[in-house]
Amino acid sequence: MISLLVATHNPHKTREFARLLGVDFSLRDLRAYPAIGEIVEDGTTFEANARLKATAVSRQVAGWVLADDSGLEVDSLGGDPGVRSARFAGERATDAENRARLLRELAKLPNGTSRAARFRCVLALAHSGEVVATFEGLVEGEIAASERGTGGFGYDPLFRPRSREETVAELSPNEKDRLSHRGAAVKHLRRFFRAL
């Protein structure tokens, strides 16, 4: 069994990683290490932020550390919210506040403007203070006109994957995992460990 420390305080992300990785992995997260505070994510890309988190935590805790940075990119908003997805409506914004701001920004655009978007995830795997590998996954889709569904978190009630009528929040956890950006990145991570 492979032991991984997930560099997050977000229990939603930890549960999602546990589902995606399965029984071959034993996970814990930063809630088990209260002395490790929030890590400043001041990178300009998802990969930069994932690397920052992975190396910062890996310098303090032995073993494998997995960090991710992920978010939503909306083409008509120049790629926003992007790396600011969790803080789109402000530093302490809730998921609902971020979704509301996204809808407000889209409402300012002319009728018929493309609502094409993607979820992007970059994972950084570190050991002994160094990033060993990075893995990327994405899922293309569009922003729905209004929120639908009660599952998931973040922008899930607004994002409809390509070729699906449902938003991510309307999908079962298994369907979401099969389609998700994080799921795609985790497939690359699993291949890495199988090759070791």
Catalytic residues: 69
Cα–Cα nearest to 159, from 182, 172, 140, 178: 140
Q: In what order do the strands lie in the sheet with 130-143?
A: 25-29, 2-6, 64-74, 116-127, 130-143, 159-161
76, 102 Cβ separation under 8 angstroms: no
Per DSSP, helices labelled H in the chain are 11-21, 46-58, 95-107, 173-179, 181-195
Cα–Cα nearest to 52, from 65, 34, 35, 71: 65
Q: Indicate the SS3 state at residue 110.
A: coil
Q: How far is CA 6 from the centre of its chain?
A: 12
Tokens at 171, concatenated? 């999908």
